[in-house]
Amino acid sequence: MLESNLKETLLNIFKRDYQLEIDPELISFQQTRVEFEGDLTLVVFPFLKLIKTNPVVLANELGTALMKQSQLIKSYTVIKGFLNLSIQDEYWLNWLNNNLKRTGFEQSVIDSSVPIVIEYSSPNTNKPLHLGHIRNNLLGWSVAEILRANGGSVVKVNLVNDRGIHICKSMLAWQKFGEGKTPESTGIKGDKLVGEMYVAFDKAYKAEQNDLMAKGYSSEEAAKNAPLILEAQQMLLQWENGEQETRKLWETMNNWVYSGFDLTYRRLGIDFDKIYYESETYLLGKQIVMEGLAKAVFFKKDDGSIWCDLSDEGLDEKLLLRADGTSVYMTQDIGTAQLRYDDYKATKLIYVVGNEQNYHFDVLRRILLRLGKAWADGIEHLSYGMVELPEGKMKSREGTVVDADDLMDEMVHTAQKMSEELGKGADLPHKAAEQLYNDIGLAALKYYMLRVDPRKTMTFNPAESIDFNGNTGPFVQYTHARIKSVLRKAVDNQLSWQSNTSLSVELMPKEKAVLTLLHNWNEILKQAAINRSPALIANFLYDVAKSYNQFYQDNPILRESDADRRCLRLQISDLTARMLNYAAGLLGIRMPEKM
């Protein structure tokens, strides 16, 4: 690699010329800003604590030494404390030739001998998937693919929240208000039908609370004593006690939901290696809690509830089992974590869950460590910000969420409308055009979701996500299709670009700009894995697409009369298309051949 080569040369220069053993971490290169001459920039300021001199003087001394010691350096300039290095064209041309026949763009930088388990999706079986779930699923799936592209052995898992009071609310509402409706009798997708019951419960529950408050109850008393919530709590006890009719209804309604989820996952391009169910993990969690109680890791209060006291670590007491013996989320997460370790012996357990659960996963890790589970140090909460709409937050209980299926329909419809207005896909057969509109709509959705740093709260605006000229998925797709069109025309004109480029060709600025961006791929991919950030891949896609379009506009390709330069430009085009296709695939985006 270019940077590692230059770093080694610099370490030798510091040792020889300044008698210093420099920490390699102090040597940091970055891409030179477009307004300055150069390819790589060395930041000189970190060395000034060791070498007492003017930063401009030191930058010039290092530039001169590098010119003498490395054949890679073509020239250098100094801007204040920044050393801008221009790399010999021969290096970039050699790199291009070495990558011409590369079939994949993965690398091996992660130890593949130890599995990494990554959990994402984690839906409740009382409502369909919504906009927030889309960000969760896309983020989890993409991070898993990025880790695999870096050589990691990754297991993608889903934990379905299929038990608890919220599930009983939908079940009870179906009994009271459902009128025997089924997905088959109504034609309603199963997860949507169950979601309607959840909303119906909340509406009736609020009415009961209002009636109680009119009779003099406080809002808190009304919430606890409304008949519907008491019935739901009783149903939860019946479920945990294995009451046959309750279990039968639970199984029936959950199966409705699973069928609906599967359709949404398939359309979104999401998959899992294994699915866990809380109904199968909470019992192990209860068992582990009881073992912790026996060992005095936990304590029991007078009402019979079991807690973990974390006050000595600056936290509070955490409920693990209620007084009636029913479990809480922490109980089942303890059991699920143990099961995953037993299944895979993974030393890294990544949970893709919203940032409102930061405290929960901190507590989970601490509790497991107190239980002597050393592997719990490998628990990592990939915390992401919530997705909001331009008009504000979503509320599931009030039925104001943006349904995932409806959103995908809207994205594809908008993609079709805009494509037809621009004449894209007009010459394609009907089925091919439908596939194109679907690919564009989902690319717009996925790119818009993933281009934002995961830790940031984001506002999703569908109207902004489909733009063939902006920082969007369709813009990247259009660039790829443009390149494939150029390559098809080259083949039609019997122009070949498979042989190595002549190293005597002098690179034009826009040619070099594309090559230097493509050259950064391995580091981008590595950093995306380290930071768990598909946004780095999205930014790479946009930068490459933008740079290629500038190159395309300023430099003739098929009309270039010089055979060596025409071959070079076709090779740059081919490598750009293949790298765009691979990188976009890590975001779940399909690259059309024609648009």
Q: pLDDT of 54-101, one tens digit each?
A: 999 999 999 999 999 999 999 999 998 899 999 999 999 999 999 988
In terms of domains, do 220 and 354 share one?
yes
In terms of domains, do 358 and 317 share one?
yes
Residues 6 or more apart from 340 whose CB is under 8 A from it? 117, 157, 276, 346, 349
Nearest CA to 500 out of 18, 42, 99, 63 is that of 99
Whether 104 has a pLDDT exceeding 80, the answer reads yes
In terms of domains, do 373 and 466 share one?
no
pLDDT digits (tens, 9 = 90+) for 442-459: 999 999 999 999 999 998
Dist. CA 199–CA 588, nearest whole Å:
32
Q: In this structure, is residue 151 part of a structural domain?
A: yes
CATH of residue 56? 3.30.1360.70
The predicted pLDDT at position 336 comes to 95
In terms of domains, do 365 and 241 share one?
yes
Last residue of a domain, one of 363, 388, 413: 388
In terms of domains, do 369 and 410 share one?
no
In terms of domains, do 417 and 548 share one?
yes
Pairing of strands 348-354, 116-119: parallel
Nearest CA to 314 out of 275, 362, 385 is that of 362
In terms of domains, do 380 and 411 share one?
no
In terms of domains, do 30 and 173 share one?
no
Residues 6 or more apart from 532 whose CB is under 8 A from it? 143, 146, 350, 382, 454
Q: What is the pTM of this model?
A: 0.92
Helix, coil or strand: residue 413: helix
Which domain does 423 fall in, by range? 404-585
Domains contained in the chain, number: 3
- Using left for φ > 0, alpha for ψ between -120 and 50, and beta otherwise, residue 21 falls in beta
The answer to whether 473 touches 450, Cβ cutoff 8 Å, is no
| CB-neighbour burial class of residue 193 (10 A; exposed 0-12, middle 13-18, buried 19+) | buried
Neighbours of 453 (CB within 10 A): 15
In terms of domains, do 366 and 423 share one?
no
Q: In this structure, is residue 593 part of a structural domain?
A: no
Q: In this structure, is residue 111 part of a structural domain?
A: no
Q: In this structure, is residue 396 part of a structural domain?
A: no
Last residue of a domain, one of 362, 388, 414: 388
pLDDT digits (tens, 9 = 90+) for 113-128: 999 999 999 999 999 9
- State mean pLDDT over 140-144: 98
CATH of residue 456? 1.10.730.10
User: For residue 306, what are its two tokens?
Assistant: 């079991």
Dist. CA 546–CA 434, nearest whole Å:
27
Nearest CA to 94 out of 1, 182, 175, 173 is that of 1
Nearest CA to 126 out of 171, 157, 159 is that of 171
In terms of domains, do 191 and 261 share one?
yes
Q: In this structure, is residue 594 part of a structural domain?
A: no
Q: In this structure, is residue 595 part of a structural domain?
A: no
What are the residue ranges of helices labelled H in 310-352? 329-344
For the CA atoms of 331, 333, 336, 337, what is the dihedral angle to 10 degrees?
A: -120
Per the document, the length of the chain is 595
The predicted pLDDT at position 388 comes to 81
Q: In this structure, is residue 467 part of a structural domain?
A: yes
In terms of domains, do 382 and 409 share one?
no
Phi/psi of residue 572, nearest 5 degrees = -60, -40
In terms of domains, do 382 and 410 share one?
no
pLDDT digits (tens, 9 = 90+) for 1-43: 799 999 999 999 999 999 999 999 999 999 898 889 999 999 9
Mean pLDDT across the chain: 94
pLDDT band at 391 (very low <50, low <70, confident <90, very high): low
- State mean pLDDT over 289-303: 97
Last residue of a domain, one of 338, 358, 388: 388
The predicted pLDDT at position 160 comes to 96
Residues 6 or more apart from 80 whose CB is under 8 A from it? 55, 56
Nearest CA to 336 out of 360, 318, 309 is that of 360
The answer to whether 576 touches 486, Cβ cutoff 8 Å, is no
The answer to whether 305 touches 290, Cβ cutoff 8 Å, is no
Q: In this structure, is residue 592 part of a structural domain?
A: no
pLDDT digits (tens, 9 = 90+) for 179-235: 999 999 999 999 999 999 999 999 999 999 999 999 999 999 999 999 999 999 999
The predicted pLDDT at position 397 comes to 44
| CB-neighbour burial class of residue 38 (10 A; exposed 0-12, middle 13-18, buried 19+) | buried
The answer to whether 552 touches 545, Cβ cutoff 8 Å, is no
pLDDT band at 398 (very low <50, low <70, confident <90, very high): very low
CATH of residue 347? 3.40.50.620
